[in-house]
Amino acid sequence: MTTDQGDDCPPMAVEPLSAACAAVVEQGEHACFGISPFNSYFSADRIRELAAWGLTRFERVDFFVPDAPSAFTFEALGYAPEKAAWKARRQGQYTRNKITTALRSLGVADPGARVLGWPELEGNAAFARLHEQGLKRYAEDPGFRDACREASGRVLAGKLPPGQRPDEEQVERAVRYFLAELPLFLDTPSIVGAGISVFCYHQPPEVLRRLYAGELGWRPAAGQGFAVVTPAGREWIGKEPPR
């Protein structure tokens, strides 16, 4: 793990998931920050810190907000699809506003253009291709499917009452959230038109460590990296609410 500090932002602890990921971070071309709409970790101040660091460290930054896919988690928790979609849409817009406010305060002229949510991604040809490939692999590859379901099951279990475990149907609904995120873990460069890119998040599930280690039969693109990025010396400990 290394610590990076820009001129005008707090130091960040950076843990690339592999040597190849470390090389992508070092080149500093593009970073995509994952910002989960229902995670209290991403306060307005935290988003501004991440944005300030990213703008100092990389030539270009984008922020991925899985707004519409968050509805899958709520459906798995028992919400009706209409209610789940409404909650996801409302919180997604709130999260977008926090990001654009942070970027505007840092001098970014068109902050809305730096947010990648479902409206931006569902019409993106590269994203659509990767999403379809992920759905196909999930249907046809038992090992990949089990890894995705295990990760989604763990996340979902943390949102249920103590002692309660998600059933098969709940996990099958919740896993659609992860499959909607997967293209950004596999090939952000093709989605955003960059040469290389590193996806930054503070708490990657084990399935991503396995993905980047080449254990799941499907490797990220050559220019794709992943790094665990957290404020140095201020480790966040807590349970994530619905993402």
Return the sign of the alpha-carbon dihedral for residues 162, 208, 54, 33.
negative
- Given 18, 36, 43, 105, which residue is catalytic? 36
The three-state secondary structure class of 63 is: strand
Tokens for 15, please give them.
């843990």
| Backbone φ, ψ for residue 78 (5° rounding) | 110, 0
From the CB of residue 79, how many other CB atoms can be counted at a distance below 10 Å?
17
43 is catalytic: no
Q: How far is the C-alpha of 188 from the C-alpha of 175, rounded, in Å?
A: 20
Closest by alpha carbon to 240, among 35, 34, 38? Answer: 38
Closest by alpha carbon to 115, among 25, 162, 47? Answer: 47
For the chain, where are the alpha helices, taking DSSP H only? 19-27, 44-57, 70-76, 81-105, 118-121, 125-140, 142-157, 168-192, 206-212
Tokens for 54, please give them.
């990213």
Closest by alpha carbon to 184, among 62, 5, 52, 57? Answer: 62
Question: Which residues are annotated as catalytic?
Answer: 36
